[in-house]
Chains A and B, each alone.
Chain A
């Protein structure tokens, strides 16, 4: 058994991690002073761990997100490319097969033309509406940000 008391450093280490050293273990088991010192440290460590932690009294995430630059989608150019390609493709079709298309369309009854055209117009209108909504949302975010700054 260790005959002298544990140093303060040994006591702190013992209190935190315990010990594999049989001499230290048996000393602490026998010595009331060292035992008390170890227990006091352990009690203090536990109290610190359980102590109230500081928290921000504001929503940090909201404040930070409002200041972030608007995220650009990874493939932002893809819709523009698709639109351009479809316009070029349609123009080429009309240019090369315009007369044939006219002849085919003469053969189709007006009711079939309505069935094709109406959904196309509705889909296009919905898409415009969605784009307008997105634009309005971004515009109001920008306005809020400008007011905040």
Chain B
């Protein structure tokens, strides 16, 4: 496989090369998708050692099940789904509290957005000054994102950093679109309010 064309390979071409035994193609797939896997594992798993094991486990599962991939979604989305499920399974096995936080509000009615809309009529009043983020304020933003509940933290990352669509997030997490939208709405609102409340403009 020549390096020149390596990055322009379609999912189908990449998969067929891997299935034909091309390990360089598999290394390329790992390099192309490990960003999403890192985002998911960093947001869901606290221990660095466990993240390392889980990331390897994810790509061994991907290799094992690649034959059964039906191209119904993007290859990266499918890998994201495997990562999410692998992390959830790990949390479940370890009986970690984080899992409860993930599953709460799972059956949330999409109409919840309407009620949030009414409650939030007065929230704009928090915007007493203009937020201007500098390079130095990146740490403050990172810290505030980390303070969000796990699901909100994950969704902010997938939507705003990985720039995934709602459908792709639905495919990865298996959550209803309404639930994703309401979590995302709350996450953004909480993040903005916390930053405006806790930091002065000079801090940012």
Contacts and interface: CB of A to CB of B under 8 A. Distances in A.
Interface of A: 5-12, 33-34, 36-37, 39-41, 43-56, 58, 60-61, 63-65, 67-68, 71-74
Contacts, number: 126
Q: Which 4 A-B pairs have the closest CB atoms?
A: A71-B21, A8-B120, A47-B133, A54-B42
18 contacts: A7-B118, A8-B123, A12-B189, A34-B124, A36-B129, A44-B191, A49-B163, A50-B138, A51-B161, A53-B161, A55-B35, A55-B38, A61-B34, A67-B56, A68-B60, A73-B21, A74-B20, A74-B21
B96 interface: no
Contacts of A49: 160-161, 163
Given A34-B124, A60-B34, A71-B23, A47 B60 contact: no
B27 interface: yes
A43 B34 contact: no
Contacts of B124: 5-6, 8, 11, 33-34, 37
B117 A44 contact: no
A41 B131 CA distance: 8
A37 B192 CA distance: 9
Interface residues of B, number: 52
Given A44-B192, A51-B161, A53-B38, A67 B60 contact: yes
B137 A47 contact: yes
Contact of B117 (A8, A37, A54, A63): A8
